[in-house]
Amino acid sequence: MSKPMTVVLGVIGSDCHSVGNTILNVFFTEQGFKVVNLGVMVSQEEYIAAAIETGAEAILVSSLYGHGEIDCAGLREKCIEQGLDDIILYVGGNLVVGKTDYSLVEEKFKKMGYNRVFSPEFPLEDMAELLRQDIRKRRQERENKD
C-alpha cells in the first residue's frame, strides 16, 4: 500500500459555516485521505502551520460567506515563503458576493495561485479523483527532481 494522502481542510476567514466542512471531512476520510480538519474560521497562517506539521500534500480551502476574494488572496505567496512551493491548493464554495459567472471566478482564483477552483455544485467524487491524480502527479514530479 502506498503512503496515505494527507490533506488540510478548513473554512477560511471569519466564516463559521460548518455544515459543508463536516460533509467534506467525512467524505474525504471515507475516500481514504488522511484529513487534517481545521474546521471553521481558519487563518492563512493556520493552514500553513498545519500543512508543515503534518507534511500535507494539499490544502483545501472553503469559503461561503462572500468574502472569499479578500480572505484567499496571498495564500500561495505565504506558502512559498514557508517552503511549501509546490503544495496543491484547492478552493471552493460561494467565493464572491452575488451571482457571478463561474468561469470569471475560476480565472480570478487561478491567478491567485490556486490549482483548482470548484463551484458548490461540483460532484465530490470527481473532486476526490482529481485530488488523487494531482497528488500522484506531484509525487512523480518530486521523484523526478531527486
Partner 1 sequence: MGDYKLSEQEFNKIRNEVLQTWPTGAEVDFDEAVEYQKAIPENKNFAKVLWKAHKNGVTLLQPRAGVALIKDHIELLQYLESEGEADLLPTTIDAYTRLNKYENAADGVEKSLAAKTSLLNGFPAVNHGVKGCRIVTESLKVPVQIRHGTPDARLLAEISLAGGFTSFEGGGISYNVPYAKKVPIQKSIDDWKYVDRLVGAYEERGISINREPFGPLTGTLVPPCISHVVGIIEGILALRQGVKSLTLGYGQGGNLLQDVVALKALKEVANYYFKKEGFEDYELTTVFHQWMGGFPADEAKAFAVISWGTAAGVMAGADKIIVKTPHEARGIPTKEANAQGIKCSKQVANLLQGQNILLGGRYQEEFDLLKREISDLMDKIYELGDGDIEKGTVAAFEAGTLDVPFAPSIYNNGKILPMRDNEGLIRIYNKGSLALSDEVMEYHKARLEERANYERRKVSFQMVTDDIYAISKGRLIGRTK
Residues that bind partner 1 (CB under 8 A): 16, 18-19, 21-23, 26-27, 30, 39-41, 124
Between strands 88-93 and 34-37, the pairing is unpaired
Nearer to partner 1, 30 or 77 (CB): 30
Sequence letter at residue 103: S
- Whose Cβ is closer to partner 1: residue 67's or residue 78's? 67
Active site residue 17: yes
Active site residue 67: no
The minimum distance between CB 31 and partner 1, in angstroms, equals: 10
Task: Using the minimum distance from each CB to partner 1, give the nearer residue, 70 or 80.
Answer: 70
45 alpha-carbon distance from chain centroid: 14
Could you tell me the smallest distance in angstroms from the CB atom of residue 18 to partner 1?
A: 4
CB of 113 to partner 1, least distance (A): 26
- Residue 113 or 122: the one with the smaller Cβ distance to partner 1 is 122
Q: Which contacts qualify for 76-85: CB closer than 8 Å, 24 or more apart?
A: 76/112, 76/113, 76/114, 77/113, 78/44, 78/45, 78/48, 79/48, 79/51, 79/113, 82/48, 82/52, 83/52, 84/48, 84/51, 84/52
Cβ 121 to partner 1 shortest distance, Å: 10
**Catalytic site positions:** 15, 17
